[in-house]
Structure 1
Amino acid sequence: MLVGYARVSTTDQDLTIQLEAFKAAGCDKVFSEKVSGTTAQRAQLQQCLDFVREGDVLLVTRLDRFARSAKDLHNMLDALSGKGVGFRCVEQSGIDTTTSMGRLVLGILGNVAEFETALRSERQREGIDAAKQRGAYKGSKARIDPTRVRAMLSEGNSPTEVANALGINRASVYRLSG
């Protein structure tokens, strides 16, 4: 059975192109969702992974619609492989775990995608550091007043009472009490 998984990150994006690609590929069942986030936060993805059985092939249009990191990708592919399920990208035709060449291409592209994510993160960090040097980036406003935490503790309040009163995590109270 061919099973499709379609995803867009925001509700204003459209699933139509992905759904049409799955129809053209002959998918028997399609799971779709409009959600951003980790694989654990995507209910339809979890249902799709639970649904597929030995001999099935899971189709996605592109890798970025399926996994957010090489680790996620490899973990999900290992789980699919363990169930005897193949994996194929419709728009990235070289990616097909039912062939040895497809598995090689998949590994390379997954690592390239992770490399690009790391580069974006480095550029963002460099931009923040440069903005801090210019005095244009101050970070977020402090949410916890350490003086108030210490005062409440010295008045005999327990760390749990202080945390509840201030709406903060108890670990923050312990960290600031020293």
Structure 2
Amino acid sequence: MIFGYTRVSKTEQNLDRQIDQLKVIGCERIFQDKITGMTIDRPELNKMFDYLRSGDTIMVTELSRFGRSVKDLLELVDRIEMLGANLKSLKEPWADTTTPQGRMLFVVFAGIGQFERDLISQRTKEGLASARARGRKGGRPKLPADKINLALKMYVSKDYSIAEITEATGVSKKSIYRYLERQK
């Protein structure tokens, strides 16, 4: 079966152009989202995946209407391939997982995406090591002992609510309970 997927970012925008193009190429069912691409939950896209079976093809007018980012697009293509289905784009004819060339391009793009994630991780680790070498430590600053002691005294006195203690001392509820646990 050939499914079509269309998306526009705003409800006042029109899907007609995309729908017309997908009908011309023979899409049997077209799923339509009117929602920003940055939204993770796209109801019609999710519904389309429920219907998708091995051998089916998803047609889109252009990849920007399908994936929110390169990473998102690669994840969607992986999901499609796990179901044994394919993806084709009208505007980007190279984006055709029904051909060996199209599948190879997506593998290359997936490799580039992984390379970018690895570079970010490497830069982060190098930055942390450089900061440590200069005597800087990461993480949250420790709470001043006087504030912790005051919060614990207020708690033990039973004259104050947790909300009053956190407001007066700046020590969070979770921290108060953590320090109380340590004292036991």
Superposed pair shares fold, TM > 0.5? yes
CA distance in 2, matches of 1:7, 1:46: 13
Q: Distance in 1 between matches of 2:77 and 2:66?
A: 10
Structure 2 matches for 1:3-152, cutoff 5 A?
3-38=3-38, 40-106=40-106
Partners of 1:105 and 1:78 lie apart in 2 by 13
Report the TM-score when normalising by structure 1. Answer: 0.62
How many percent of aligned residue pairs carry the same amino acid?
Answer: 33
CA RMSD of aligned residues (A): 3.3
CA distance in 1, matches of 2:54, 2:16: 28
Q: CA deviation at 1:106?
A: 4.2
The aligned residue for residue 121 of structure 2 is none
Gaps of 5+ in 2: 117-149, 177-184
Cα 1:162–1:9, aligned 2, differ >3 Å: closer, same or farther?
farther
Task: Name the structure 2 match of 1:146.
Answer: none
1:58 positional shift: 0.5
Secondary structure of 1:40's counterpart equals coil
What SS does structure 1 have at the residue aligned with 2:4? strand
- With structure 2 as the length reference, what TM-score do the two structures score? 0.60
Deviation at 1:77, TM superposition (A): 1.1
Structure-2 change in CA distance of 1:35 and 1:162 (3 Å): farther
Structure (1 or 2) with the larger CA radius of gyration: 2
CA contact (8 A) 2:37 2:65 kept: no
- Within 2, Cα distance between the matches of 1:27 and 1:61? 11
1:158 aligns with 2:128: no
Q: How many positions carry a matched residue from both structures?
A: 133
Q: Quote how far apart the aligned CAs of 1:7 are.
A: 0.2
Residue pair 2:8, 2:15 contacting (<8 A) in 1 also: yes
CA contact (8 A) 1:39 1:72 kept: no
Measured in 2, the distance between the counterparts of 1:18 and 1:107 equals 27
What is the alpha-carbon distance in structure 2 between the residues aligned to residue 162 and residue 33 of structure 1? 48
CA deviation map 1:86-122 (0-9, x unaligned): 100012112100112122344567869xx9xxxxxxx
